């Protein structure tokens, strides 16, 4: 033995060779053990197979548009196809992964057949629905005092009084805030005034700030005007509406809204508003939301929720680019659940059509003294967009009027084609949010450039009662032109959203508006055939717009948006077939179950 030890000492190469051999053997044993353990876990794991006997699983996968079943492994889709094929492939996967390690008898004993679930024959499955443009916190805020549908100033006042009377302990200096009024619904279509709020003794002397339905104008009480003190004569990118004597009436439009000294929301309020929106959204089958104007306090709140694992769905966040943006603020699939992504910027170019703030190339047909509001100049926008592009941010820009859209397409074109180091449009994916009113030339240019137009079908059916009066018979042909935008799109992409709380949270409202161009009661200025019906989307196009196209707009098309192997198991079970029922039945459809990462988060399977 001493001689052998001596020989090893005298032969260090042999010693190292034996050490490497031992290490290799140990690694091989460890690897075999790991593979065996993985195979054992696969055999023992209870996979789920969800099926429709009528093959009513709409995958939004062009290679397999409809299937009978989807197999789920944890948070992912493992397979799709017929029940026999899926079960056969699952068994083959199990046996292939284990027969080299376990005897066939043991493999057969260990294998657990998947749990097969059949949905009701009248139900269907679609990929998890997305809202490509919404305002999460604002929606929860609006739910506390909703002014939607009020047909007069008097009705708004009654709703405020009811709000106060239900809170008898509310101090008189407590700010009352609400959202949803629309002067276009009222008999004289005029903007309201602070004096209107003072007309009721219960309201007089209280600080009241009420946002218009589109969020682009705020109506305040006389008490708020007092708190504001002396006001500037003009506001860049905004308007202080004044009477014939030059006194403020109580209406502030676009950038002028920032003058209102409303208190900042507390963390408790943020939590309340967030939870309310999430609960509603899940109940309507939403599994992904693009938050289209995240303020600094909201960003911090979302990050805190993500760290705590309290983000119940996928959130794609657009930071407000007119405010301070962290230098290294991008987060991809962040948090315990990996559901928060912050990689885009939201900018504003103009206002909204309903408050005459959309920036037009020519004067308004019904208000020829104005062409709307440019909230930022073309030069300012160009510099902002270039800076954010260079810092690696996707840039998404609010554009309603044809002037705003024209200016921003000039900016995007200058960046995409104007330099030798311009970005690849597929890698950058710049978006125009709303893209509501465009010239025929700009409709084509957006598609040619590869700019994504992110639209909200319910805006068309909400605005159709006054839009042509605002724009006239020629400009209206380039407004809310969804089918044209989709046909012009380089990649056939048209993400759909709602802009809630401007519109309702239920994504079927958008689906219905997109395929019918009708109001929920089945009417339109052009009758039951729909408003400018040539711009309707097909049901297949609309479903893709609120699933795969929205996923593309958020760089997630390889992970969500369709039911394909390897993608996340996000899907929705509906009690009727939105792809075949008569149009007037679409809005009666209900969500049976909402599933995210393979887990039922609303309803039951």
Q: Is the pLDDT of residue 504 over 60?
A: yes
Question: Mean pLDDT, to the nearest integer, of 204-214?
Answer: 96
Query: Within its chain, how far is the Cα of 420 from the centroid?
Result: 33
Q: Is the pLDDT of residue 566 over 50?
A: yes
Confidence of residue 28 (pLDDT cuts 50, 70, 90): low
Compare 29 and 394 and report the one with higher pLDDT. Answer: 394
Spatial CA neighbour of 351 closest among 236, 486, 479, 472: 236
| 137-259, CATH topology level | Diaminopimelate Epimerase; Chain A, domain 1 (3.10.310)
Is residue 81 within 8 Å of residue 69, measured between CB atoms? yes
Compare 284 and 328 and report the one with higher pLDDT. Answer: 284
Is residue 495 within 8 Å of residue 452, measured between CB atoms? yes
Q: Per-residue pLDDT tens for 397-418?
A: 999 999 999 999 999 999 998 7
Is residue 102 within 8 Å of residue 554, measured between CB atoms? no
Handedness of CA 563, 566, 571, 573 (dihedral sign): positive
- The chain-wide mean pLDDT, for the chain, equals 91
Question: Mean pLDDT, to the nearest integer, of 364-373?
Answer: 97
Question: Mean pLDDT, to the nearest integer, of 423-450?
Answer: 97
Beta 66-67 vs 57-58: how paired, if at all?
A: antiparallel
Confidence of residue 38 (pLDDT cuts 50, 70, 90): low
Compare 564 and 27 and report the one with higher pLDDT. Answer: 564
Residues near 288 by Cβ (< 8 Å), separated by ≥ 6? 128, 129, 130, 131, 313, 314, 315, 316, 550, 551, 554, 556, 560, 570
Structure confidence at residue 29 (pLDDT) = 52
Q: Is the pLDDT of residue 37 over 90?
A: no
Q: Is the pLDDT of residue 1 over 70?
A: no
Placement of tokens 């311009």 in the chain: 422
Structure confidence at residue 423 (pLDDT) = 86
Structure confidence at residue 194 (pLDDT) = 97
**Domain ranges (residues) in the chain:** 2-118, 137-259, 271-569+582-590
The hierarchical CATH code for the domain 271-569+582-590 is: 3.20.20.140
Q: Is the pLDDT of residue 31 over 80?
A: no
Confidence of residue 84 (pLDDT cuts 50, 70, 90): very high
Structure confidence at residue 21 (pLDDT) = 65
Helices 402-417, 440-449: inter-axial angle, 10-degree rounding: 30
Question: Mean pLDDT, to the nearest integer, of 536-554?
Answer: 98
Is residue 363 within 8 Å of residue 369, measured between CB atoms? yes
As a whole number of angstroms, the distance between CA 334 and CA 454 comes to 24
Q: Per-residue pLDDT tens for 160-198?
A: 999 999 999 999 999 999 999 999 999 988 999 999 999
Structure confidence at residue 102 (pLDDT) = 47
Question: Mean pLDDT, to the nearest integer, of 223-239?
Answer: 95
Beta 115-118 vs 124-127: how paired, if at all?
A: unpaired
Is residue 497 within 8 Å of residue 552, measured between CB atoms? no
387 membership: H or E segment, kind and range: helix 378-390
Q: Is the pLDDT of residue 34 over 50?
A: no
- Comparing 111-115, 451-455, 571-575, the range with the smallest average pLDDT is 111-115
Compute the radius of gyration of the chain from its Cα atoms.
29
Is residue 232 within 8 Å of residue 266, measured between CB atoms? no
Question: Mean pLDDT, to the nearest integer, of 284-300?
Answer: 97
Model confidence pTM above 0.85:
yes
Handedness of CA 516, 522, 527, 529 (dihedral sign): positive
Residues near 363 by Cβ (< 8 Å), separated by ≥ 6? 369, 370, 371
Confidence of residue 456 (pLDDT cuts 50, 70, 90): very high
The DSSP 8-state label assigned to residue 265 in this structure reads: P
Structure confidence at residue 328 (pLDDT) = 83
Structure confidence at residue 3 (pLDDT) = 44
Cross-strand partners of 596 = 599
């Amino acid at each position: 033995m001493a001689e052998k030890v001596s020989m090893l000492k005298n032969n260090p190469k042999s010693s190292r060779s034996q050490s490497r051999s031992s290490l290799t053997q140990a690694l091989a044993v460890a690897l075999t053990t790991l593979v065996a353990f993985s195979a054992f876990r696969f055999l023992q794991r209870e996979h789920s197979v969800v099926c429709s006997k009528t093959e009513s699983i709409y995958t939004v996968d062009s290679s397999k548009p409809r299937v009978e079943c989807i197999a789920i492994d944890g948070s992912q889709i493992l397979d799709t196809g017929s029940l026999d094929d899926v079960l056969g492939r699952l068994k083959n996967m199990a046996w292939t992964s284990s027969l080299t390690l376990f005897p066939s008898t043991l493999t057969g004993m260990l294998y657990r057949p998947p749990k097969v679930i059949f949905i009701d024959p009248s139900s269907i499955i679609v990929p998890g629905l997305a809202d490509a443009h919404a305002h999460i916190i604002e929606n929860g805020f609006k739910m506390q005092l909703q002014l939607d549908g009020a047909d007069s100033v008097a009705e708004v006042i009654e709703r405020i009084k009811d709000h106060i009377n239900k809170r008898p302990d509310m101090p008189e200096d407590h700010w009352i805030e609400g959202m949803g009024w629309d002067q276009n619904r009222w008999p004289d279509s005029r903007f309201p005034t602070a004096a209107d709020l003072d007309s009721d003794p219960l309201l007089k002397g209280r600080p009241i700030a009420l946002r218009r339905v589109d969020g682009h104008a705020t109506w305040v009480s006389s008490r708020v005007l007092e708190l504001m003190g002396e006001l500037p004569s003009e506001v860049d990118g905004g308007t202080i509406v004044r009477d014939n004597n030059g006194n403020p009436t109580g209406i502030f439009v676009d950038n002028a809204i920032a003058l209102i000294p409303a208190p900042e929301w507390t963390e408790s309020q943020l939590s309340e508003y967030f939870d309310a929106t999430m609960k509603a959204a899940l109940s309507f089958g939403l599994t992904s939301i693009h938050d289209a104007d995240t303020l600094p306090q909201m960003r911090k709140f979302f990050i805190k929720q993500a760290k705590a694992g309290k983000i119940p769905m996928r959130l794609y966040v657009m930071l407000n680019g007119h405010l301070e943006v962290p230098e290294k603020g991008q987060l991809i699939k962040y948090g315990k659940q990996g559901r928060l992504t912050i990689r885009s910027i939201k900018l504003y170019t103009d206002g909204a059509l309903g408050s005459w703030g959309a920036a037009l190339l020519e004067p308004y047909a019904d208000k020829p003294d104005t062409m709307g509001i440019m909230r930022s100049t073309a030069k300012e926008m160009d510099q902002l967009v270039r800076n954010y592009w260079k810092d690696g941010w996707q840039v998404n820009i609010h554009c309603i009027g044809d002037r705003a859209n024209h200016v921003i397409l000039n900016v995007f074109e200058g960046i995409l084609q104007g330099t030798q180091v311009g970005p690849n449009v597929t890698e950058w994916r710049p978006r125009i949010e709303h893209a509501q009113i465009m010239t025929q030339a700009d409709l084509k240019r957006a598609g040619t450039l590869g700019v994504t137009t992110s639209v909200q079908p319910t805006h068309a059916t909400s605005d159709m009662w006054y839009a042509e009066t605002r724009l006239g018979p020629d400009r209206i042909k380039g407004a809310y032109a969804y089918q044209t935008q989709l046909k012009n799109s380089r990649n056939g992409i048209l993400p759909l959203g709602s802009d809630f709380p401007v519109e309702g949270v239920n994504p079927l409202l958008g689906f219905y508006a997109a395929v019918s161009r009708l109001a929920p009661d089945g009417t339109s200025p052009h009758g039951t055939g729909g408003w400018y019906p040539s711009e309707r989307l097909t049901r297949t196009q609309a479903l893709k717009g609120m699933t795969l196209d929205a996923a593309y707009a958020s760089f997630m098309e390889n992970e969500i948006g369709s039911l394909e192997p390897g993608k996340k198991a996000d899907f929705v079970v509906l009690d009727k077939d939105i792809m075949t029922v008569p149009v007037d039945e679409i809005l009666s459809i209900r969500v049976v179950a909402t599933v995210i990462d393979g887990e039922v988060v609303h309803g039951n399977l």
